[in-house]
Amino acid sequence: MSGTKDLHQIVYISTATTAVGREEAIAQQMHFAENNKRRAITGILLYRAGNFMQVIEGDKTVVRELYTKIEADPRHQDVVQLLDEPIVERAFPNWSMGMEDLDSEETRAKPGWNAFLTTPLTAREFFGKPGKVKRLLDCFKHDNDT
């Protein structure tokens, strides 16, 4: 996806308000992906044990507007922003919104994953630690190569 002038990325972490099962999370995500495609948003939604980490990237204004909506969504709470910065290129150019369940078998096989085997997706683990956030996200980046 190209042609975006003011490329921007926001990463946040949050806690699901209702127990979101894997299937429900995936169904939701398919709907998000359609919305995102229309807005030239790409990214990834990670899920582990009731917590989310999401990357949204695209035009700065569009990303900020989407983040404001997501932040107010009653399906999750304790939304904490981890990164909010301009980027030179998209980290997940081929995903309108990739979804990864961190406890799935596929995830366990990823390079660099050992460090995160038992790390919960909580602000306590990731807030103020941009390097750690990026190391986790890097585990998923190569999947997105075509």
Ligand X SMILES: Cc1cc2nc3c(=O)[nH]c(=O)nc-3n(C[C@H](O)[C@H](O)[C@H](O)COP(=O)(O)O)c2cc1C
By CB under 6 A, name the binding residues for ligand X. Answer: 32, 35-36, 45, 52, 54, 56, 66, 69-70, 73, 75-76, 97
Write down the least CB distance from residue 129 to ligand X, Å: 21
Output 70 or 102, the one with its CB closest to ligand X. Answer: 70
Q: Which two tokens stand for residue 21?
A: 């099962």
Output 52 or 126, the one with its CB closest to ligand X. Answer: 52
Write down the least CB distance from residue 137 to ligand X, Å: 15
DSSP calls for the chain: ----SSEEEEEEEEEESS---HHHHHHHHHHHHHHHHHTT-EEEEEEETTEEEEEEEEEHHHHHHHHHHHHT-TTEEEEEEEEEEE-SS-SSTT-SSEEEETTSHHHHTSTTGGGGTT--S-HHHHTT-HHHHHHHHHHHHGGG--
Output 9 or 54, the one with its CB closest to ligand X. Answer: 54
Write down the least CB distance from residue 138 to ligand X, Å: 20
Output 66 or 139, the one with its CB closest to ligand X. Answer: 66
Write down the least CB distance from residue 114 to ligand X, Å: 26
